[in-house]
Amino acid sequence: MSDERETMRRVRAPGRVNLIGDHTDYTGGLVLPFAIDRQTTIDYRPADGIRLRSVDEAEPVAFDHRQPPQPGTIDSWGRYVAAVVAELGPERGLDGVVETTIPIGSGLSSSAALEVAVAIALGFDGTPIELAELCRRAEHAATGVRTGIMDQLCIAAATEGHAALIDCHSLDITDVPLPPPSEVEFVVRFVAGRTLEGSEYDTRVAECAMAEELIGPLRLADLDAVAAIDGPVIRSRARHVVSENRRVRDYADALAAGDLATAGAIMVDGHRSLRDDYATSIPIMDAAVEELMATPGVLGARMTGGGFGGCVVAMSEPGTGLDGWPVVPVAGAGHVSET
Ligand code: GLA
């Protein structure tokens, strides 16, 4: 007789790359990421208590699902698991194995993929937005960094073949079709390992809050309002956010018009804004973007994600043969099969 406890199940959750719209999500702005064909999987059986081991990490994770440890007391990947369990309060645990093809600590949202996969494997029952909000809270509890909703929502809700234009205020998602690989290639190039913990990420969040005290919500502000801000640092930060929201719309419009040259130029503008106004790039990322832009066939390139290291993303003509990981847009997370 088959019992639910005997059934192996598999959950998958992809990583993400952001094409344009960085450091806009936590002020309710616009972002345009897509879920990539690199993923975290959990093969598991429902069980009493949490028992997870990872193919990629030394430490296994084991605790009572009714009494998850404080994430801050765990040093390893287990803190993300504990934080999701604490947020979800699942009725059961699981016994399983985690495996990932998302490079860890490279800015492709390996932690958000783990959170989303764990929540689904533990029986999360709600909308993709609710799933993303729960996992964002878990991320905050695990890391203490006040990240936005982009990573978790893209991973929870992406549509195959599309980027997700997310309004991070309303949480409305518009699927934006991406040209097929026969027309354009997206390549992610790893530049430097990083973690947002201990970075200036939270400083940027605070600087945006200061700007909003002066001129109101940045998602509604225009560049004239920004120009009236006295302090040069806060003015620069606000200028990035306001101009970046514009770039997301312009990039989506350029894609819709099939104008890849304009889309590529917008990516480079976005990189310069993150470098000069937002100060989240680092010299080797700037050098990588310069090098890519000097390569025949490359249409656009920029740092992607939180910055301070991580990856750059390039958009190129097919057959350009860039070093890096070619990525294609896949569907968001879910159960994949029952074996
Ligand atoms: C990290 C955060 C996101 C977002 C990006 C920058 O990936 O997790 O919420 O703020 O940085 O766009």
Domains defined along the chain, listed by start: 4-176+330-338 (3.30.230.10), 179-327 (3.30.70.890)
Task: Walk along the chain (339 residues) in steps of 10 and give the mean pLDDT of each run.
Answer: 68 98 98 98 97 93 96 90 98 98 93 98 98 98 97 98 98 98 97 86 98 98 98 98 98 98 98 98 97 98 96 97 97 84
Per-residue pLDDT, 6 = 65
Per-residue pLDDT, 1 = 40
151 is catalytic: yes
| Global confidence as pTM | 0.96
Tokens of 187: 């390549």
Per-residue pLDDT, 337 = 72
The closest residue, in CA terms, to atom 11 on ligand 1 is 306
Contact between 33 and 154 under an 8 Å Cβ cutoff? The reply is yes
Phi, psi of 31 (to 5 degrees): -140, 160
Contact between 264 and 283 under an 8 Å Cβ cutoff? The reply is no
Contact between 251 and 263 under an 8 Å Cβ cutoff? The reply is yes
The closest residue, in CA terms, to atom 2 on ligand 1 is 147
Per-residue pLDDT, 134 = 98
Question: Cα(222)–Cα(123) distance, rounded to whole angstroms?
Answer: 43
Per-residue pLDDT, 321 = 94
Q: Report helix, strand or coil for 99.
A: strand
Q: Which of 19, 24, 25 to mutate to test the pocket of ligand 1 (most atoms within 8 A of CB)?
A: 25
DSSP type of residue 245: H
Contact between 198 and 308 under an 8 Å Cβ cutoff? The reply is no
Q: How many CB atoms lie within 10 A of CB 284?
A: 12
Per-residue pLDDT, 45 = 97
Q: How far is the CA of 22 from the centre of ligand 1 (A)?
A: 7
**Terminal-residue alpha carbon distance, the chain:** 15
Q: Report helix, strand or coil for 75.
A: coil
Q: Which of 151, 218, 285 to mutate to test the pocket of ligand 1 (most atoms within 8 A of CB)?
A: 151
Per-residue pLDDT, 2 = 45
**Residue 201 backbone class (left: φ over 0; alpha: ψ -120 to 50; beta: rest):** alpha
Annotated catalytic residue within 151, 269, 277, 286: 151
